Chain A
Amino acid sequence: MRRFIKKLVAMVPILVVLVLLVVLASPVSAATTADVAVNATPSFVSITNSPDNYGFGTVVAGSNVSTAQAYFTMVDGSSVNIDVAISCNATWAGGVTWTHDDTGTPGVDTAALKASPNTGAYDIIVKNGTPVNLVANNSGNVTWELRLYAPTSFGDGVLKTNTVTLTATAT
């Protein structure tokens, strides 16, 4: 048995050398060209929103009215994560215009808007000034809702309109 093990041990270096020789002798195909693959992913930011309008209907002074939760859907077509800020115009147009309040507090001919990303909390003040993030570092579609805080008193009964804008930037 010992002699047999000795024989086996003696064969190991031979096998190793032969295997190495096989590897070393493997043919390498000549090539007159060498290709280099180059790729890049554009930091592309793209969003759309649907539906593109909402009518709160007739509102009572000092009341607040809301869309259904997740009424709006922001479709994210970006290749990177994005921050989505929400903002609106400073004035609600139509007849005696409403001033938009950036603190979320309605007043005489002064309205406010709040939004939330499918939480129903309506805890994000929609400002005319510095946009506030509706979502941050987001990837994928976002549903959201909006609430109007009607003025405490109206100058007329003419339809008022404002535009809410979602602005996406790469995170």
Chain B
Amino acid sequence: MSKLKGIKRIATRICLALVVICAMTLGIVGNEVEAAISVATLGVAADKNGTSPWTALTGLSISAGDTVFVLSAGDSDSSAISVIADGVETLALSKALASGNPGNAFASVWIGEVSNTSAAWYITITNTSTAKAMSAYKVTGIDNSAYDRTVTGSGSTTPYSSDATATLTQADELVIGLFAVEDTVTDMNGVWTTGVDYVSGNEQKDATDGAGDASNMTIYSAMEIVSSTAAQTATVTNGDDADYASMCLTYKMAAAGADISNAPAGKAFGVVATSTDYWSSGSAPTWPLDDAECYFTVTNNSGGAVSITIEAINFTGGVGWTLAGSPGENIVTLKAAKSGDANEAAMVTLTTSGQAFISGLAGSATKKWEVKMETPTIFGDGVLKESTITLTATLD
């Protein structure tokens, strides 16, 4: 009896474990779908030796395509910031925005997109300030060509604030908050205000130490991915009264690109004779071409309409076949038609360059299409020939 109870208990636990695993998996997958923008902190550093250029962070792992943000705080503004992977790439960042409290503190945000992947990136900052601090982030999924909203501010008392930006242009944006505070590490007790109207999260802070408060520099930075257009403010409470420069700026999430799929994935024409026409659907159509006479279906999975170009590569395998407008010895002609085309003259003769094929295909819409192959007049051998036709979509 007790054995039976034991088995029941184990079985129940297995079921519960399955439920938990399913729930966890669902959560992870759900996050992947939603996270169009990603943010990761790269670290913070502070220097009170007036080092310039200053190698602030080393051993950073950054991938090709990542946007790197370096946030700078100092008695004066930085004049240059680079991210470097020796022998791989040296990227001079651009200053996106600066905020000054002259004679006291300067804050600035620097941005750049790396083209290479390395685990040995380091950051150098040219800034002659005796006391300075920095933080760094890597971000994906934003339109880093220009910021959307900005606001800068300055003050000398707590709470530190940037004031509010204008309402954001779109719902999905990256918000950055930055403070350069003329204060020491022992007073680095600031707390970011949270809420839909305030930037917080991914917070980093660091400060110099020693001598009077005003001879030091503290940096507070935060980055948040928001999903509303609410105006944003950077606010840090619980700090000491101190001179500060502040800013809040936003970047739009990158626009989703075109997204298409096609089925079936290929067509095997089988054994073919010389100087013969073959159609992917199996037989020559009547014109105008209708859906039932088409073998392929392209689907626009994008949110908006797309235009699609078509191209192919020369056939490979043994003595290859070259694409051309009319067949010849080891020369093949591929043509494509879409449903609705009036006649064969309207078909696109495929080349190795993209040519307009389908225009204005609405979001979620499909289009049927067909391929004609005109075989070479003479074959060089009997080896299987293979080519790839590529459809390329761009948002209208």
Contacts and interface: CB of A to CB of B under 8 A. Distances in A.
Interface SS of A by simple majority: mixed
Contact of B29 (A22, A30, A38): A22
Nearest to A16: B22
A19 interface: yes
B272 A22 contact: no
Contacts of A39: 266-269, 315, 317, 384-387
A21 B385 CA distance: 43
Contacts of A32: 257-260, 392-394
B33 A36 contact: no
A15 B8 CA distance: 18
B345 interface: no
B272 A41 contact: yes
A80 B296 contact: no
Interface stretch (A3-11, A91-99, A104-112): A3-11
Contacts of B270: 40-41
Interface residues of A, number: 37
B29 A25 contact: yes
A1 B22 CA distance: 26
A77 B380 CA distance: 11
A33 B8 contact: no
Interface stretch (A42-50, A66-74, A130-138, A146-154): A42-50
Contact of B22 (A7, A22, A26, A44): A22
Interface string B352-366: 000000000000000
B30 interface: yes
5 contacts: A1-B4, A15-B19, A31-B259, A36-B262, A38-B388
Interface of A: 1, 4, 7-8, 11, 14-15, 18-19, 21-22, 25-28, 30-46, 77-80, 170
Interface of B: 4, 8, 11-12, 15, 18-19, 22-23, 25-26, 29-30, 32-33, 256-262, 265-274, 278, 296, 298, 301-302, 312, 315, 317, 334, 371, 373, 375-376, 379, 381-394
